[in-house]
Amino acid sequence: MPLEVQSPTREPVRSETRWKFWACAYALLILLTGTNLPTPLYRGYQQQFGFSPLVTTLIFAAYVAALIPSLLVAGPLSDAVGRRRVLLPAVATAVLGSLIFALASGTAWLFAARVLQGLSLGFASGTLTAVLAELEPTGNRRRAALVSTVASVGGLGLGPVLAGLLAEYAPAPHVLPFVVEIVLLVPAAVAIASLPQGRTATRWKPRRPQVPKAVRGVFATSGAASFLAFAVIGLFLTLVPTYVAELSRSTNLLLSGAAVALMLASSAAAQLVGYGGRARKLELVGLPLLAAGLVLLAVAGGLRSLTLLLVATVIAGIGQGLAFLGGLTAVSQAAPADRQAEVLSSFYVLIYLGVGVPVIGVGVLATWLGLLLAVQCSAVLIALLCLLVLAIPARRTEEIR
């Protein structure tokens, strides 16, 4: 019998794909790190520039307001013209946003920097998620979704810790974190530049992204769960650091950033443990845990207990991670291959609406009722909505494996 000769190029090609896969995961991690560097710094900006908690939430909302339109454009655009042509400008915009933060001399600078960060992440997040699904060496979309969610949540958590650490123990607290981010973006740009150019399959025209009819049942159910999961992220990224400072009576910026990072680390750990579970089951386990954590967060404010707040943070983080992993896995698996970026970008629109819209209401409440009571009321309301989503009947569409 003739010996079977294996192709000598197969393994190098697979190794190159594996390298690009992890390099793009790094790019997603660093982009999200940069967008969350301001989290522990908002209190200092408030004191320096003299604005209220409501303005803090509006600065955060400006980021989301820029992010959502760019998400709607980026998905179908990258499907048409190729990933690299969309992602390289996104990295350049992220560098510019960090530079404006580093040079900020007034509130208007913060708004401008956040808008640029929103544009950058809007063009990058759905597109990079689609890239990871395409580059996963074994073609395993579930694994690609896990890497995407862990990188996303990891960036959300790394940003506050990195900024809090540098701001508390290094010079130039409102400058150095953003200089470090610019340096970290250089390898991300190199990784994205290594992607193939891609050929234009169709002439791109601006249009409203649509979710294919076959995916809409999955999209609605998972979108509702992920919207609430990210409403909690928005609450933690904007007002919980100040909430922690009031309960602990400490001005340590690392402590404020670490509380946010604890929630997000718990989310990432839950996703690693939950990997391989059925998408709908992950959501059904995650939402009650998220609700329980939020109720404990409210109780911790009433008792002024930092210990209980940390317990609540861990439970809420676990619930958030499971709910988000279930939602993204379901949508990623259901999306047609030729519309991956478009469907995922539409999904990210929902979750970033969850990040940005509810937190404005919390800012208004904080102006009327004070920060502690506003966070408590918001936490209880989101918890009730989590339980309401649990009552939604099971999808009529085929259950995602």
The tens digit of pLDDT for each residue in 276-324 reads: 888 888 988 999 999 999 999 889 888 888 889 889 999 999 999 999 8
Question: CA angle, 130 as apex, 128 and 134 as ends, to 5°?
Answer: 110
User: What span, in angstroms and rounded, lies between the C-alpha atoms of 264 and 262?
Assistant: 5
Q: Where are the domains of the chain?
A: 16-195+213-390
Mean pLDDT (the chain, rounded): 83
Give the predicted TM-score (pTM) of the model. 0.75
- What DSSP state is assigned to residue 210? -
Contact status, residue 165 vs residue 257, Cβ threshold 8 Å: yes
Average pLDDT on 111-117 reads 96
* CATH T-level topology, domain 16-195+213-390: Growth Hormone; Chain: A; (1.20.1250)
The closest alpha carbon to 256, from 335, 343, 167, 186, belongs to 167
Where is average pLDDT lowest: 3-12, 117-126, 235-244, 252-261?
3-12
* Farthest CA pair distance, the chain: 84
Residue 181: its pLDDT value, please?
A: 96
